[in-house]
Amino acid sequence: MKTLFTHPFRRQYHWGYLAVGCTLLVSYALWLGSMWYYQDWYENPWKYMAKVGSHSATLLMCWAFILATRFRPVEVLFGGLDKVYKSHRYIGEIAFFLIFLHPLGLALMHASEGGSFWAYLWFSGDWVRNTGIIALAGFALLVVLSIYVKIRYHRWKRTHDFFGLLLLLIIVHGIMAKGEIVAYPLLGLWFALWCGLGLAAYVYIRLLYRWLGPQYDHVVDEVRQVGDAVVELYLKPQGRAMVHEPGQFVYISLDANAVSREPHPFSISSAPDSPRLRLSIKQLGDWTQSVHAIQAGEQARVWGPYGHFSETIVQGSCRQRLIFLGGGIGITPFLSMLASERMRKAPYACWMIYSVADAQRAVYSEELRTACAQRDDWHCIQHLSDEEGFINADYLQQHLGSLNDCTFYICGPQVMMDSVSNLLLDAGVPIEHIISEDFDIR
C-alpha cells in the first residue's frame, strides 16, 4: 500500500507544497507574533506542542478541502489534477498525524501539573474536551477508511462526505476552547479565512460542482469493443465543444441504462481537433464492466478538461527526444498526443514504447504504428512483458542509447511507473524530465 512514507516527496516537483509550507509559516508567525505582542507566553512548554499540532492540522485540513475542488489555479500549482489528488491525500495524512500532537501535548501538560495523563484523554464533564475527543475519533475513523482500508470506490467516496462535518466540529471545538485563535484578532482572522475557504471548498465540490463545474453535454455516437477488455466510447458534442490539450482527461457521467451516473475519469484518446471525443475504457471493475452495453444516442456529460501531462511539450521545455512509455490502458493519453497537430509540428524526435503483457492485449499497436509513420524521427516499439520481462535500465539503454537528451512521459500501472521512474532517477535523469500521469487518484 502506498503511504506518505513509501511515496517520498522527491517524486513531486510542485510549487504547491511550497505554498502550503508558506501558509503554515504565516500561521506560526501570526501565533507567536501575537503572543509576543501581548506578552502572553504559556507557562507550560507542553502547550506549545499542543498548539503546533492543532494549528497545523486545521490549516492542512483546509488545504486538503481546497485541493479537492478541481480548481484550475490549484491544478497549475500542483502540476495536474492527478498530482493534486495525491497531494490532497498526503496533506490529509500529515494533518492526521499532526492532530495527535494536540491531545498528547495537553495530556502531558495536565500530567506535568499533577493530573492523570490517561484520564485527560477520556470523556469528562468538560464539553470542550469532549468535542475534541469526538473530532479526533471521527478523524481517525475517516482516515483509516480513506487510506488504510481498501473499500469500494463509491463507499470510499461516501465516507469522504463526513470530512465536512469533521471540519465543522473542529471549528466548534476551537471556538468553545476560547484559545488564542479567539483571543488574538489577526490570528483569528487568518483561521476564519482558511476555515471559511475549507468549508466553501467542501460545499462547492460536494454540492455545486455538478452544476457549476466546467461541463459539456455530449451524445454517445458509437460504442466499439476493441480486443477482449477495452471499449471505445465515441461522443459527439451537443452545443459548444470542449477545447482540450493532447493527453488531458475528463470526468464522464452517463444517462444510460447500462451504467450508473457516477462520474468516472478517463483520458481523451482522440486528437484535440477530432470532431468526436473518444474514450478508451479498460473493463476492470463494476462500472467499467458494463460500458459495452451503453447505447448510441444516450446522453453523456463530461467535466473538464483536466491534467497537465503534455504541458512541457506544448511549452517547448523538453529535451531533444521525447520517450513515451505507455503500459496497458495507460496508452490512452499518448494516442491523443501522437494524433495531435501540435505534436506533429513540435521540434522533437519521439520514441513510443507500448508495453503490454502479450500481443493479444496490444489493441492499439496498429494505430500507434500509423501515428508514428507521420514523421521519420518518430519510432514505435512494442514491449511484451510476458516474453521480455519488465522494462529495466538495460532495455532502455538498448533501445534508446544515452538517456541524457530524453524527456520521459510515463503512464501505466503504478508498479511500472514507480519502477521506471526509480531506474531513470538512478540513471541520472533529472526529476523534471520524468513526467507521469496517474490513473489511480485514491
Among 13, 17, 48, 287, binds ligand FAD (CB under 6 A): 287
End-to-end CA distance of the chain: 11
Phi, psi of 411 (to 5 degrees): -145, 125
Contacts of 310 (CB under 8 A, 6+ apart): 245, 246, 247, 248, 333, 337, 343, 409
Alpha carbon of 351 to those of 116, 194, 323, 377: distances in Å?
66, 46, 5, 8
Draw the binding track, 77-96, toward ligand FAD (x: CB under 6 A; -: no contact).
-----x--------------
Q: Of the ranges 41-49, 160-168, 260-268, 310-318, which one interacts with ligand FAD (CB under 6 A)?
A: 260-268
- CB-based closest residue to ligand FAD: 285
Reduced to 3 states (helix: H, G, I; strand: E, B; else coil), residue 375 is: coil
CB of 306 to ligand FAD, least distance (A): 7
DSSP string, 208-248: IHHHHS-EEEEEEEEEEEETTTEEEEEEEESSSPPP--TT-
CB of 189 to ligand FAD, least distance (A): 36
Which triple of cell numbers denotes residue 403?
A: 538517456
What is the helix (H) or strand (E) element at residue 43, kind and residue range? Answer: none
364 lies in the site for ligand FAD, by CB under 6 A: no
Contacts of 209 (CB under 8 A, 6+ apart): 69, 70, 303
Q: Which residues pair with 356 in a beta bridge?
A: 384
215-226 and 321-327 as β-strands: parallel, antiparallel, unpaired?
A: unpaired
CA 61 to mean position of chain CA atoms:
15
CA–CA distance, 58 with 181 (Å, rounded to integer) = 12
Q: Of the ranges 13-21, 221-229, 278-286, 401-409, which one interacts with ligand FAD (CB under 6 A)?
A: 278-286
Nearer to ligand FAD by Cβ, of 377 and 440: the residue is 440
Draw the binding track, 165-184, toward ligand FAD (x: CB under 6 A; -: no contact).
--------------------
267 lies in the site for ligand FAD, by CB under 6 A: yes
Which triple of cell numbers denotes residue 48?
A: 506549545
Nearer to ligand FAD by Cβ, of 144 and 284: the residue is 284
To 10 degrees, what angle do helices 46-67 and 101-112 make? 170
Nearer to ligand FAD by Cβ, of 321 and 361: the residue is 361
Nearer to ligand FAD by Cβ, of 34 and 253: the residue is 253
CB of 330 to ligand FAD, least distance (A): 8
CB of 94 to ligand FAD, least distance (A): 21
Among 70, 244, 282, 433, binds ligand FAD (CB under 6 A): 282
Nearer to ligand FAD by Cβ, of 68 and 109: the residue is 68
CB of 240 to ligand FAD, least distance (A): 23
148 lies in the site for ligand FAD, by CB under 6 A: no
Nearer to ligand FAD by Cβ, of 56 and 436: the residue is 436
Q: Of the ranges 27-35, 107-115, 117-125, 284-292, which one interacts with ligand FAD (CB under 6 A)?
A: 284-292
CB count, 10 Å around CB of 384?
A: 16
Which triple of cell numbers denotes residue 234?
A: 465515441
Nearer to ligand FAD by Cβ, of 33 and 263: the residue is 263
Alpha carbon of 183 to those of 46, 103, 187, 188, 442: distances in Å?
20, 20, 8, 7, 39
**Closest alpha carbon to 14 in 72, 84, 61, 85:** 84
Contact between 120 and 110 under an 8 Å Cβ cutoff? The reply is yes
CB of 292 to ligand FAD, least distance (A): 12
CB of 99 to ligand FAD, least distance (A): 26
Nearer to ligand FAD by Cβ, of 54 and 336: the residue is 336
Among 221, 262, 311, 418, binds ligand FAD (CB under 6 A): 262
CB of 140 to ligand FAD, least distance (A): 22
Among 92, 265, 326, 327, binds ligand FAD (CB under 6 A): 265
Give me the residues that bind ligand FAD (CB under 6 A), please.
82, 152-153, 249, 262-267, 280-282, 284-288, 329, 332, 439-442
